[in-house]
């Protein structure tokens, strides 16, 4: 039986509804993980470092898709809760068209300026050429990556999370197969990694585009869009937290790379890359849960069903606490084998990666509160509070920690920076959720 946004959610039903989205986000995070594994083991650590160095820039451009997906899905879910389906379809369609146009514009600009940007990040010689090569190929597929990020959120609003999962699995499996073929068999190196990822992103954006443009049984579909400046502004404002989050993550990643280059050289960047790849999968569980539950929150907020809103909120907090403890334990248990999979060929690099990973693992205990807190207020159409949580969590706290702690503790301070920053963001998220509970009735 299909679960609807208007249903009453017990814990079991809630998990069944959000599980496809959690798995979908895990598969999405696997794109870069698979690239990293094959490039590190078959193309060497210079190519591996190149991907890690240029990736923040690519994610900044792709952040538009996250903004439209999170902010737009919250607005559309609220509109559906108000029983205005035609209006919801028009807003959805406008956002998709806008994302395509912006994707083409920003991708073109990125292709033109990728070399000076890479130079500014500190790349030179072979590292610079590899950054430019990988970046330009990925940028060609960037409009579809933006669409993929939008449709990930809207599949949930459409009450089709399993279909969203199926599309993501198709794209993810294609990436894995093509990486193995292009990098391990054909020996295309970083070019093969970029082509494989770009093609998988194309599938992830194109298949949903065809689905929503055709007749379907979902709650929303693509129709002839009508310009609605108010809806675009509301989407941008409401999704600003996700936009800030992705840009801030990229800026902070670049800062981590800068500090690691200073204290540990190319090995430091490679070690951080491994930790980031693995953390993508862990944090994807919190992201997937938050994306999956957001339309339920938005729908009940629009329908003014405060009883169900309170019920869902309590279950979300229980999930965040339980998942945080479980993921921290798993990360500590798997730190050695995961580090060996990526960089076991280099003893010094393996030791550095393992040590950093074990310290970094403590951040998973609390990071779910910041992720969920931001998504929760986005679902309530309060983009300002959502953006505050994201801005402080990702940019301010991490920037301060990654800048200050190494002064006193050198490379140890770099690994501890994320743990201290997540602890600070936990306090902020919890305080804001308690402060607004009477206003929204959760």
Task: Render pLDDT for 265-290 as a digit per residue (tens, 0 to 9).
Answer: 777 777 887 887 778 888 889 988 99
pLDDT surpasses 80 at 245: no
pLDDT at 401: 92
CA Rg, the chain, in Å?
21
Tens-place pLDDT, residues 91-104? 999 999 999 999 99
- Among 47-56, 198-207, 294-303, the minimum mean pLDDT is found in 47-56
- What's the chain's length in residues? 442
Q: Give the rounded distance of the alpha carbon of 143 from its chain centre.
A: 16
pLDDT surpasses 70 at 241: no
CA distances for 350 relative to 244, 275, 306, 406, angstroms = 33, 11, 51, 21
pLDDT at 88: 92
pLDDT > 70: percent of the chain: 98
* Cα separation, 240 vs 104, whole angstroms: 21
The pLDDT confidence band at residue 7, using thresholds 50, 70 and 90, is confident
pLDDT at 112: 95
pLDDT surpasses 70 at 1: no
The pLDDT confidence band at residue 441, using thresholds 50, 70 and 90, is confident
Average pLDDT of the chain to the nearest whole number:
88
pLDDT at 151: 92
Rounded to 5 degrees, φ, ψ at 160 are: -130, 50
Please compute the mean of the pLDDT values over residues 246-263 and round it to a whole number. 77
Higher pLDDT, 276 or 157: 157
pLDDT at 2: 75
Please compute the mean of the pLDDT values over residues 14-30 and round it to a whole number. 84
The pLDDT confidence band at residue 295, using thresholds 50, 70 and 90, is confident
For 83, residues 6+ apart whose C-beta sits below 8 A from its C-beta are none
pLDDT at 91: 94
pLDDT at 238: 77
- Among 43-57, 93-107, 359-373, 413-427, the minimum mean pLDDT is found in 43-57
The pLDDT confidence band at residue 29, using thresholds 50, 70 and 90, is confident
What's the distance, Cα to Cα, between the start and end of the chain in Å?
A: 27
pLDDT surpasses 90 at 317: yes
pLDDT at 376: 93
Please compute the mean of the pLDDT values over residues 160-173 and round it to a whole number. 88
pLDDT at 45: 78
The pLDDT confidence band at residue 205, using thresholds 50, 70 and 90, is very high
The pLDDT confidence band at residue 32, using thresholds 50, 70 and 90, is low
pLDDT > 90: percent of the chain: 42
Question: Using the 8-state DSSP alphabet, how is residue 303 labeled?
Answer: T
Q: Which of 97, 433, 118, 424 is nearest to 254 (CA)?
A: 118
Higher pLDDT, 133 or 412: 133
The pLDDT confidence band at residue 390, using thresholds 50, 70 and 90, is confident
Please compute the mean of the pLDDT values over residues 144-165 and round it to a whole number. 88
Q: Are the C-beta atoms of residues 199 and 139 closer than 8 Å to each other?
A: no
């Amino acid at each position: 039986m299909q679960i609807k946004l208007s249903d009453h959610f017990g814990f079991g039903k809630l998990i069944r509804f959000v599980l496809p989205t959690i798995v979908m986000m895990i598969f999405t995070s696997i794109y870069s993980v698979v690239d990293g594994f094959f490039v590190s083991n078959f193309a060497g650590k210079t190519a591996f470092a190149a991907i890690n160095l240029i990736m923040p820039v690519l994610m900044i451009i792709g952040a538009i898709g996250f903004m439209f997906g999170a902010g737009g899905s919250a607005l559309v879910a609220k509109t559906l809760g108000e029983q205005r389906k035609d209006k919801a379809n028009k807003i959805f369609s406008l956002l998709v068209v806008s994302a395509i146009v912006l994707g083409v514009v920003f991708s073109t600009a990125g292709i033109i300026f990728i070399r000076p940007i890479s130079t500014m990040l500190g790349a030179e010689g072979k590292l610079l050429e590899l950054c430019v090569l990988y970046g330009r190929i990925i940028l060609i597929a960037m409009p579809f990556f933006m669409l993929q990020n939008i449709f990930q959120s809207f599949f949930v609003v459409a009450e089709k999370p399993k279909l969203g999962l199926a599309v993501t699995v198709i794209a993810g499996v294609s990436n894995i197969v093509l990486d193995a073929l292009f990098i391990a068999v054909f020996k295309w190196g970083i070019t093969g990694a970029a082509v494989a990822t770009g093609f998988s992103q194309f599938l992830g954006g194109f298949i949903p585009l065809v689905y929503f443009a055709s007749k379907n049984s979902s709650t929303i579909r693509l129709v002839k869009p009508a310009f609605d400046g108010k809806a675009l502004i509301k989407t941008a404002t409401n999704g600003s937290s996700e936009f800030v989050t992705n840009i801030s993550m990229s800026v902070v990643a670049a800062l981590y790379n800068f500090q690691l280059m200073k204290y540990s050289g190319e090995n430091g960047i490679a070690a951080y890359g491994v930790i980031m790849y693995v953390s993508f999968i862990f944090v994807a569980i919190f992201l997937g849960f938050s994306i999956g539950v957001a339309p339920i929150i938005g729908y009940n907020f629009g329908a003014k069903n405060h009883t169900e809103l309170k019920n869902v909120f309590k279950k979300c907090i229980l999930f965040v606490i339980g998942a945080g403890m479980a993921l921290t334990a798993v990360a500590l248990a798997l730190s050695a084998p995961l580090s060996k999979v990526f960089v076991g060929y280099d003893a010094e690099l393996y030791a550095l990666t393992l040590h950093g990973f074990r310290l970094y693992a403590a951040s998973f205990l609390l990071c779910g509160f910041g992720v969920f807190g931001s998504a929760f207020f986005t679902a309530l159409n309060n983009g300002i509070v959502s953006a505050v949580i994201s801005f402080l969590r990702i940019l301010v706290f991490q920037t301060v920690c990654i800048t200050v702690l190494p002064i006193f503790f050198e490379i140890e301070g770099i690994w501890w920076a994320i743990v201290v920053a997540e602890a600070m963001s936990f306090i902020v998220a919890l305080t804001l959720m308690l402060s607004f509970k009477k206003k929204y009735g959760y």
